[in-house]
Amino acid sequence: MTIENTELFYEQPTGRFTPIIIVHTFEKESANLWEELKALECQNFILAAVSVENWESDLSPWKAKKVFKGGSDFGSGADKQIAVLTDTILPQIRQQTGSSEGSCYLAGYSFAGLFALYSLYRTTVFSGSASVSGSLWFPGFIDFSMKHEFPRKPDALYFSLGDKESSTRNEIMKTVGENTEQLFSHYNKLNINCTYETNPGNHFQEPEKRLAKGIAWLLKEARIN
């Protein structure tokens, strides 16, 4: 089922407390992600796979210069996309599925993982996030996260990286491991329920499987929150 550039995956019946997971994915990835999640035998939930035209613009917290050859400069569309999710997409999901009171979490891979975490600083709508191989090298994000507080304490935060992701010649992107560990430590000190795990391989290895692991952890935490 599709609404507002969003493909929905769920199994009936859904109830008013069925948790909702919103992810930003490329179109071909969503069906693979759903299959990975079914294989993990997660509790009943709703997966909403949202597509955007330009990740570097639509999911970027603020403008920044490109960090790799052949890439594009980053825009500042994240706040607008957050408003689309909270004001339009999520209400339609709730109406269509009947999950009027289910917790809603954001999850994402790579740049969508950065967006998932950033969004928690900008709205109280979401209960937590999974930043999977998240682009936490993004210029200025560490400073931003250390200087700002969540308007609502997240119920759960999940982080993961491939064990070879920091092995790059790019001086900005190679900070991803250090930055992720710093953020994980920071949130731990704030007594936020969070976890951090490493996966074998580089940034491009088994993205749907890694993302499914993060979502499964969120759903496990949603069961007790």
Convert the pLDDT of each residue in 213-224 to its tens digit: 999 999 999 855
Structure confidence at residue 69 (pLDDT): 81
Give the tens place of pLDDT for each residue, 131-153. Answer: 999 999 999 999 999 999 999 99
Give the tens place of pLDDT for each residue, 83-105. Answer: 999 999 999 999 999 999 999 99
CA gyration radius, the chain: 16
Higher pLDDT, 110 or 4: 110
Give the tens place of pLDDT for each residue, 32-59. Answer: 999 999 999 898 999 999 999 999 999 9
Residue 198 belongs to what H/E stretch?
Answer: strand 194-199
User: Sorting pLDDT into bands at 50, 70 and 90, what band is 169?
Assistant: confident
Per-chain mean pLDDT for the chain: 94
Q: Hunting for tokens 């600083």 — which residue is that?
A: 121
Domain count, the chain: 1
To the nearest 10°, the Cα dihedral for 55, 60, 66, 70?
A: 0
For residue 65, what are the domain limits?
Answer: 2-224
Structure confidence at residue 2 (pLDDT): 55
Higher pLDDT, 67 or 106: 106
Q: Domain with 183 in it: what CATH number?
A: 3.40.50.1820
Helix axes 207-224, 27-39, angle to 10 degrees: 60
Mean pLDDT of 202-217: 95
Structure confidence at residue 71 (pLDDT): 82
Whether residue 1 is predicted with pLDDT greater than 60 in this model: the reply is no
pTM for this model (two decimals): 0.96
Give which of 129, 122, 186, 185 is closest to 151, Cα–Cα.
122
**Beta bridge pairs of residue 107:** 23, 130
Whether residue 210 is predicted with pLDDT greater than 70 in this model: the reply is yes
